[in-house]
Amino acid sequence: MAQRLLLSTCVWGSYVDLFLEYTLPSLISKGNILSKHKKVEISLLFLISKSDFKKFKENINIKKIPNVSYFSIDNFMNKKSVTKYNILNQSQKKVFEIVNKENFDYLMLFYADSIFPENYVKNCLNLIENSDVVLSPGPLINLEKFIE
């Protein structure tokens, strides 16, 4: 039986258009989630607002991905004094619950403004063959500060 990898991200607000225009095309580039990977079945989970659901379902690139699921983050957003970090924290807790419940072998969390080089997923899967975990920190920028 194939092992299972879940890739997951939380996307809402101003990040939706950035994700669909930049992150998603990089995620489906050569050697990433559309490529066949030996012994690993890849699934993608989007944690999004219900107001963005139609935009995601109708996106031409998302339609290319065979195993996609969605979870609404609206309950995380409707709390007093909510920050983007609270939403991400609650979303990641939910992802861990799903990984445990559905018995995924591997998990790859990524931010909505990540850019994946070609063969990133392939290289991570090759590295994990002889390891228990692969950590892949990447340089991050504060989008709000960058745009200002």
Nearest alpha-carbon partner for 40 in 12, 13, 7: 7
pLDDT of residue 11: 96
pLDDT of residue 125: 87
| Largest CA-CA distance found in the chain, in angstroms, rounded | 49
pLDDT of residue 146: 53
Mind listing the pLDDT tens digit for each residue in 30-75?
999 988 887 889 999 999 999 999 999 999 999 999 999 999 999 8
Mind listing the pLDDT tens digit for each residue in 65-121?
999 999 999 988 887 778 888 999 999 999 999 999 999 988 999 989 888 889 989
- Please give the model's pTM, rounded to 2 decimal places: 0.87
- Residue type for 131, please? S
pLDDT of residue 148: 54
Question: Distance between alpha carbon 78 and the CA centroid of its chain, in Å?
Answer: 22
Question: pLDDT-based confidence at 124, cuts 50/70/90?
Answer: confident
Q: What is the CA radius of gyration of the chain?
A: 15
